[in-house]
Chains A and B, each alone.
Chain A
Amino acid sequence: MDNFTVGVVVFPGSNCDRDVSWALEGCLDIRTKYLWHESSDLSDVHAIVLPGGFSYGDYLRCGAIARFSPLINALDEFVKSGKRVLGICNGFQILTESGFLPGALVANKNLNFICDDVELDIVSSKGGWFNNGDEKQTIKLPIAHGEGRYHCDSDTLKKLVDNELIALRYKNNPNGSSFDIAGITNARGNVLGLMPHPERACDETIGGTDGLFTLKSLILK
């Protein structure tokens, strides 16, 4: 689509917004537009990325304050219309805090801020976010978080498993996440939240291209 535009949301404290935009524009030739968090006009973007960072300084809880921004209020309609929303790291935390995805992200089990490349199993490709062929596939993406331990109650976990909403699982769980969960989708599949950073794995010269598929899938209908 020639005029397809991905909105990249900028909160005070976002710090991966430019990386996401660079990866989309420079590596995939997909047009982007920065959306300030106080904007609620989403009419000229066709998909949205909530990037990583420390929105509102992570005050109170990661993502807790961002949830009340005009942009997140407008996101409900956007998601209901079936358009795609990708939340990366702090973006994933915002999606759980605002109820678009179930569960919560809490402090890593070992309290370390973990900055590393991790191997991930693609469990489900609901929504087409991952290249999931006939064989089970593994990808490698960078993580960089202090509060990335996915937590949910057992009923929620059962729903996630039964409905194939778990997108990614860590091969070697780095942070203590329930069921090794690294990323989940909503039931419809148009919202994906994940702790790893696909935008940091879009060029061989900086350590791999396993993130390209996920960013490219933003343009899927």
Chain B
Amino acid sequence: MDQFAVKIFVRLRPSVLDPAGEATKSASIKLGVEGIKSLRIGKMIEVKIEGNGENEVREKIDLLCDRLFANTVIEDYEYSLEKL
């Protein structure tokens, strides 16, 4: 069995308003940082997972992302794997 460290990023789709991102953008400007064009908040999920090779682990992660980690009505996801 191989073990992988997976980092999954879940983001609101571009078409979905992100009011928390807008509020944070507004605070960032109040902090005095200039030049912020866009700010959107997502989630990062870290998973350590075992499987027979990268393909099998990708299948498991795809299922997790599609059915649990992200709601694909409103969110997109992407991930990176690192073999441990």
Contacts and interface: CB of A to CB of B under 8 A. Distances in A.
Given A60-B68, A64-B68, A109 B73 contact: no
A61 B20 CA distance: 14
A96 B71 CA distance: 10
Nearest 3 A/B pairs, CB to CB: A104-B73, A104-B74, A111-B19
- Interface residues on chain A, size class: 20 to 34
Contact of B19 (A64, A103, A110, A152): A110
Interface string B54-74: 000000000000001101011
B17 interface: yes
A103 B73 contact: yes
Contacts of A199: none
Interface in B8-62: 12, 15-17, 19-20, 23
A151 B12 CA distance: 12
Contacts of B12: 106
A75 interface: no
Nearest to A111: B19
A176 interface: yes
Contacts of A109: 17, 19
Interface of A: 60-61, 64, 68, 96-97, 102-104, 106-111, 149, 151-153, 176
A151 B31 CA distance: 32
Given A106-B74, A107-B19, 20 more contacts: A60-B69, A61-B71, A64-B71, A68-B68, A96-B73, A97-B71, A102-B73, A103-B73, A104-B73, A106-B17, A109-B17, A111-B19, A111-B20, A111-B23, A149-B17, A151-B73, A151-B74, A152-B73, A153-B15, A176-B17
A108 B17 CA distance: 10
Interface of B: 12, 15-17, 19-20, 23, 68-69, 71, 73-74
A110 B16 CA distance: 14
Nearest to B45: A60
Most buried by A among B12, B15, B17, B74: B74
Contacts of A153: 15, 73
Contacts of A102: 73
A64 B72 CA distance: 12
A106 B16 contact: yes
A113 to B, nearest CB: 13
A104 B19 CA distance: 16
A111 B19 CA distance: 6
A77 B52 CA distance: 36
A108 B19 contact: yes
A151 B68 contact: no
16 contacts: A60-B69, A64-B71, A96-B73, A97-B71, A102-B73, A103-B73, A104-B73, A106-B17, A106-B74, A107-B20, A109-B17, A111-B19, A111-B23, A153-B73, A176-B17, A176-B19
